[in-house]
Structure 1
Amino acid sequence: MIDRLFLEHPRCVNESYGEHLSAAFGVGGRLLVASLKCFVHGLVPGLYKTAGSDAIVALHREIAPRKYDQPTF
């Protein structure tokens, strides 16, 4: 059970648990910042006009080339 939950997926993508944790937290942090900028943009439309879409495009460029055959649940 521990192996399946914590080690199987990182191993499948050729990362250690720590490497995978770092990468996932990096993506999550970037999405969190982009999300906050989107909320600010909603309140003040003149600010962060393209922050959300810029973050999505940049992350897609980095993540799309990865070919993972792992289910996400």
Structure 2
Amino acid sequence: METKMFNRLFLDHPRDVGESYGEHFATAAGFGVRMVGGGLACIVHAVVPVLFVRTASDTVKSLYATMKARQPAFSKEPPAFAAPEWQLDYEI
């Protein structure tokens, strides 16, 4: 029973995406650090609008490109957010 729980918590998902636990940890942690950095830049931008003008947008675009490149099947169907009703009239 404990082995099944361990596998479910730590190994099943990394295996599903073709990675070891360490590879998945590094990738997920890297994404998290980039998101936190972009978020902090966005908060600073909110206080002083002349700073980090494109950092949040560039971070999101870079993360999306990285994620899309890692998932070849992702490009078979356009994602839901590509639909016209999800398109924004502005960029942060």
Q: What is the Cα-based RMSD across aligned positions, in Å?
A: 1.2
In 2: Cα distance, 1:14 partner to 1:64 partner:
15
> Highest relative contact order (Cα 8 Å, sep 6+), 1 or 2?
1
Residue 57 of structure 2: which of 9, 28, 53 is its match? Answer: 53
Question: For structure 2, which runs of at least 5 residues remain unmatched after alignment?
Answer: 75-92
Structure with bigger helix share is 2
Shift of 1:2: 1.1
Say how many residue pairs are matched. 68
Deviations 1:12-50 (CA, angstroms, capped at 9, x unpaired): 111100110000000000000000000000000000001
TM-score, normalised to structure 1's length?
0.87
Task: Pick the structure with greater CA Rg.
Answer: 2
In 1: Cα distance, 2:68 partner to 2:9 partner:
24
Runs of 4+ in 1 over 3 A off after TM superposition: none
TM-score, normalised to structure 2's length?
0.70
